[in-house]
Structure 1
């Protein structure tokens, strides 16, 4: 009996062709990787599953999550004491709405090569806890320093237009920088930087929204419902991505630096990324009052076009990442690890949709999703090798990924034979 059509559209499951001796992506000039079987002048890509290794980066991430959670607990107690339990609960529920909108946006950006959940959890906790804590502790002293420089200035105006953008963007950016230094391997480029920045910013905005909603609720007097509703519409519905747009500049710069070998570009990229992040934040805080005189004029003339431009830029970055995945997996196809049809299946949006539809019909959606994920990780690891990033460590990781991909594919096709 014939086997069912494979997700590549061929009648029989695709079997990889042999890899030419010494030319496989994981091989070297001296020959194939250890463990490959030689057949004359070619090497069949046959692997045993490598022994699991301890992920030190994951351990460090867990430690950072615990520490950030402790800071978030302190910030939560501060807000609870300042607002009182009823207002804290009401405003916390309202703040979930813009947070949910941001999460959907992050999911859209991160669909091609999803980041580990542990890193996204850390980013959110850093934004919601550590960044807010830094702003609460450092902000007042920074404003006092500004008043020393500008004695005739307004503390509220200086705090809103200068102190908040500078302190908050540095605090948020430090979380992305820390993640890059600790989990460099998973930080592949600008899209990753934007995703991590968005998660940090979403966390910060969540906590800040609780504070703003609470202030509107407690200081509105007889107009409580109106003032709270107005604040919720402005911050929660019209501008949920404001902090995301600012901090994404820092993430983009660090993501570009992450693509280069070594660490020399990281510090300059961090500073360069902070410049547009801080300036954009300053414009957002001061523009309506100082330049336009009306929030809605400012919003529709400047903020909406900027948001559309940002979304367009992210779309092009995602397309670039897809082309990169296809190009790098194509190199493995040339060495015999994949067929050309499999590259199309794994490295194009249409191919992935067909593959998942096929897998769901054959009750193998989970392994197919894992095959796509590990193959994409393989392509991006190959890119790191090409860029000269930690070549020896990434070659070892490449071999591990090749073994995992081969094992998953074999199990997937065996289950539908």
Structure 2
């Protein structure tokens, strides 16, 4: 049991640590980051309950619509809502890179609990594949979401609302593409590999841009 729990939790913590350590200009308060992780973990249960009820009731029978509403849409919306409601106006959200960290933290909280429940149900055999795909993809969706939250928070013009909208719909679309690829039985592997490479490229580009925004922000604040 200990090995299984460790295998379920380790990928999420490793990815969160990676994005945390990428920030070399300022140290984000660990307590707030942990809170975002915990909030992301807590929303796993209501999301899974709603998904279960809708599936059992046969409310949505079309697989594509199910991917949009039950997975991509619902999961990304709840993660977005957590950040917007509890973190976006937080006093410690004080530089553009913070959004990226809180986005990753919230998404990885959700992904870690989801991964733990999956491995408890189906065993440790799929631990590596789940770390490589579902857990990392949630992290990357969160990075993209958080990047746009950071852009919105510190926008100096009327684009704050536009970035806020992008923070929801860009990760939602990416999640939809990810889920759609998994429905192609037989050759999904040949599609998911290039998509994951693209997702990593996109997320790391957002990390680089967020870091540059942070440098610009600190210069304006006369902190460097």
1:119 corresponds, among 8, 15, 32, to 32
Post-superposition offset of 1:98: 0.5
Deviations 1:83-124 (A, max 9, x none): xxx4xx443211122023212222233332222122111101
Comparing 255-264 with 242-251, which one deviates more in the overlay? 255-264
Cα 1:313/1:250, change in 2 over 3 Å: closer
**What is the alpha-carbon distance in structure 1 between the residues aligned to residue 138 and residue 183 of structure 2?**
19
Match of 2:73 in 1: 166
2:116 corresponds, among 198, 201, 210, to 210
Large movers: runs of 4+ above 6 Å:
261-264
- Contact kept, 8 Å, 1:288 with 1:294, in 2: the verdict is no
Cα 1:321/1:262, change in 2 over 3 Å: closer
TM-score, normalised relative to structure 2: 0.83
**What is the alpha-carbon distance in structure 1 between the residues aligned to residue 12 and residue 101 of structure 2?**
14
Deviations 1:111-167 (A, max 9, x none): 3222212211110100111x202202322345578x54x55x35xx65445411111
- The reply on whether 1:296 has 2:189 as its aligned counterpart is yes
**What is the alpha-carbon distance in structure 2 between the residues aligned to residue 300 and residue 264 of structure 1?**
34
- Unaligned residue ranges in structure 1 (runs of 5+): 1-85, 218-227, 330-345, 348-417
**What is the alpha-carbon distance in structure 1 between the residues aligned to residue 188 and residue 5 of structure 2?**
25
Deviations 1:287-324 (A, max 9, x none): 1333x843431232221122123212311321332244
Post-superposition offset of 1:198: 0.4
Cα 1:181/1:264, change in 2 over 3 Å: farther
**What is the alpha-carbon distance in structure 1 between the residues aligned to residue 114 and residue 88 of structure 2?**
27
- The reply on whether 1:253 has 2:148 as its aligned counterpart is yes
**What is the alpha-carbon distance in structure 1 between the residues aligned to residue 4 and residue 17 of structure 2?**
21
- The reply on whether 1:97 has 2:4 as its aligned counterpart is no
Cα 1:172/1:108, change in 2 over 3 Å: same
Cα 1:244/1:98, change in 2 over 3 Å: same
Paired residue total: 224
2:46 corresponds, among 122, 126, 134, to 134
- Contact kept, 8 Å, 2:36 with 2:106, in 1: the verdict is yes
**What is the alpha-carbon distance in structure 2 between the residues aligned to residue 119 and residue 320 of structure 1?**
21
- Unaligned residue ranges in structure 2 (runs of 5+): none
Match of 1:50 in 2: none
TM-score, normalised relative to structure 1: 0.48
Deviations 1:8-43 (A, max 9, x none): xxxxxxxxxxxxxxxxxxxxxxxxxxxxxxxxxxxx
- The reply on whether 1:242 has 2:149 as its aligned counterpart is no
Cα 1:236/1:191, change in 2 over 3 Å: same
SS in 2 for 1:113: coil
What RMSD over aligned residues (CA atoms) do the two structures have, in Å? 3.0
Match of 1:48 in 2: none
The higher relative CO (CA closer than 8 Å, separation ≥ 6) is in 2
